[in-house]
Amino acid sequence: MQRLLLAIVVVLAALLLARDPYVEKADAFFLDWLLRNTPASGDHVSLTVVEIGGEPTVETQPNQKAPDHSPGSRSSAALSPLEFALFFQAILEFKPTVVAVEPLLKWRERDKDQEQVFLDQAMRVPKLLLSGELTSTPDPDAPPTEIPGFVHVSGRRGDLPTFTGIQRQPDEDLRLISSLSYVNLPDEAKTRVPLLLNYRGEVIPAFALQAFLTWARIPLSEVQIEAGSHITLPDGRKIPINWDGSLTVNPNSSKLGRHFGLNELLLLAQQRQKNPSLESLHDELILARTPSNPLAPADVFAAAIATLQSNHFVRRVSVLFDCAAVLLIALLASHAVRASRVDLVLGLIAFTAAYCLIAFAVMSRYTIWVPGLVPLGTAWLLGLLAFGWPRPKHRAEATEIAASPPTP
């Protein structure tokens, strides 16, 4: 009876943990830890990342660790139009179709004389996507700007990041030769990248989704949005999104594409005839970024674009797994109260290690994440209760030895 009572207490505690709003935040930390330490799954994607302003990088193959960048790398604000002009001149040797620039292009006053050199190169790109930044507190004297959004939208829009004006954007000369998208990110953005934004009541694409749709040649009018659930593309593919319109990505997914530094790209452009494999750059999405971009962690937009291209999305396991895990832990309650306290502690450590290994295996093989707090928290709660549970006392039974009968 006491063991059954302990099992009931364990199940009720698991239900309380599942209903706690802080559990979702704790599971987000567990998911971030899983994703940061799990290599990306999938083949090479049609993405080339060019880092401007940092040290040259060596091209990385899929799932190969990229070199770290020093904290002293320059941000986009310290770059000149001439450096971006060199980037466009080099990349245009491969005749790309879509070039997206992640950092906001705002030049210093002393660099204004180089702006025309940049414009002469940038206007040769067939489809150029530049970044801007929205705000929820715009200048009241500034006229509102119309931004095209999705036509087919259903579901609740109130949970999407809401903005009412434009805070920063490139100059008018750049806006005339390009399309704008917006790089607003939450402060804690690590593995969740916004795909949808709410601008003055209209649902618009964020930078990563806009770059992908431009590369895939999908107009906004052919995309169907179910806010808080999924995005449906014309070919029937569905992109799962969170309640706030963000996409859960593996930060290592950016390694599925190619990475070059600006100096390396300039060298490859001169030796283009000797590298026939680089002719595929014509069909790839070219993403220019700065290693120390203050708006985002390293490669967060590249990881989101690579995830959209690979069609390998991070999904949560079914809630049936949670129920099965809690029931298994409850069944172990009868054995926990009979085990010694040393065996109990060792068993909890072994269970935690085995659960984390299973979580890593499921994530790396199937791109499915399992919850961390409810199963592990329930197991350790059971361990604490069983640790203080009174152990049964074993009494030695007296044995009577019958006397042998006398021999005649």
Q: Is pLDDT larger for residue 373 or for residue 54? A: 373
Please give the pLDDT value at position 392.
61
Mean pLDDT of the chain: 81
Q: Is the pLDDT of residue 74 over 50?
A: no
- Look at residue 1 and tell me whether its pLDDT is greater than 60: no
For 11-56, what is each residue's pLDDT tens digit? Answer: 666 665 555 556 677 778 888 889 988 888 778 999 999 998 754 3
Question: Residue 63: which pLDDT band, with cuts at 50, 70 and 90?
Answer: very low
Per mean pLDDT, which of 80-89, 270-279, 294-303 is the most reliable? 80-89
Sorted by sequence, the CB contacts under 8 Å of residue 99 that are 6+ apart come out as 88, 91, 125, 127, 128, 129, 286, 288
Average pLDDT on 328-357 reads 84
The mean pLDDT of 186-203, rounded to a whole number, is 87
Q: How confident is the model at residue 88 (pLDDT cuts 50, 70, 90)?
A: very high
Q: Which tens digits make up the pLDDT trace of 242-284? A: 989 999 999 899 999 999 999 999 988 888 766 766 778 889 9
Q: What is the pLDDT of residue 77?
A: 47
